[in-house]
Structure 1
Amino acid sequence: MDMVRRFFEIEVDEDGKQIDHDVEEDELVLKEVQSQSKNFKLFHGKKISSDKEFMFKHFGSYPTIYVDFTRVNGSNFEQILDGLRLVIHRAFRKHAYLKKSDLWNREEFNKNTFMKYFDTDQYESLSLAQIKCGLVFLSEVLHAYYGKKVFVFIDEFDIPVNSMVYEDDMDPEDRKETLKVLREIIGDLLKGSEKTVERSLSNACQQLGGILSGSANNTVAPYYI
């Protein structure tokens, strides 16, 4: 999953300046780009790099959101919410350069809202409403910053549901609330954000698309490692 994300993501420096990957096959130029771009170095010389047209069109071309549900587990609803707070916080932390953006001069974007998710000292107090809308807000900010729709990558998609299934002591009401929140977060991000989200890719050990994302037009492809 991480390698796929790194292929598509727009790579930037600490100031948010995009790293240019459009280079000729000049050895000195290639070495300079490789020294700046970890992603270019990762894929240069691989089989996929021989498809020049595909590379030119897609490599390093999209803003991305990466969500890892590994830590979203627990025996009650509050523990699940704590896991979601951390997951969303980490998704924001991958875009530290946005703190310096001129976007915050625009009325529709509030830097204090961004910092609520980003700041290590603030994210633990995110409310339920803020948890639900956090990833949608990030997709809107990234879309405005880059002028492009976002690719969303969701890792360990099934862990929160597995946690509910195998936690025998979880209260039935907590199970219901957990599933409701997960559906809202995933549904709003993948189905309700057509203007800001281009595509999404998720992986899981179990097929859960219909459980979590409802009618989000999922395509399921079995893949075994």
Structure 2
Amino acid sequence: ALVSTGWGSESFGLQIMDAVDAGVLLAGATYTVTLSAGTASGAQGGCSFSFMVGLPPSGGTCALVQASGFALQTDIRVQCKTWSTDALPLSYSFGFAPAGGEVNWMPRSFKSTGSFRLQSGSYNASTRVYDSDGMWATAPSGAVLVSDPVLADGQTVEGAIGGAAEYMDGLGQDSGMTMVAGSVAAGLYDDTCAAEGTCGGRRRLLASSAAYRMRVRRLLLAKI
């Protein structure tokens, strides 16, 4: 059936995966795009072309290997296995959503296992598996529970934050450092409010989160 898009521009663009997710296009189906054009004088013309919507990666799982631990100390790990596609190679984007929040997606990499250190809280882990054509499948990876850090004698929260930043830097996880910076700030703010009954401890919050951000900046600048 011919369906009008209502497109009035001289160019036409469509994000295939957005259309598949919205149910507008079906994966594996072939579609024909027909262009009809006309001038003010009544001259008409047109053209058409066909394209096939590829099938996203399938048949695999992405599961938590380590689903709980201590904030900024335990490696939370997700491992993907047995994914297949006709458009190799595969790449992976790991994401974590705090309770009631949006997913923070890491940039894609060819590593099928991701390892991260998170601020205390509850998270839902997800993974997107991409093929070389840009098609992707989203796999829920499970629930994550991260407890408050266990500090040794003389160790501070700031020290744990700095250690986590250096650890992720050693793994090349620049985006991970950026993601945790936000959750650290939010977590310190919430912890201060809960402990004191007010949010009067903002100086400690600002000092801790600023120290973390400064450590992140130094590590990133050292790579330039």
TM-score (norm 2): 0.33
Which has a greater percent of helix?
1
Higher gyration radius (CA): 2
Higher RCO (CA-CA < 8 Å; seq separation 6+)? 1
Which has a greater percent of strand?
2
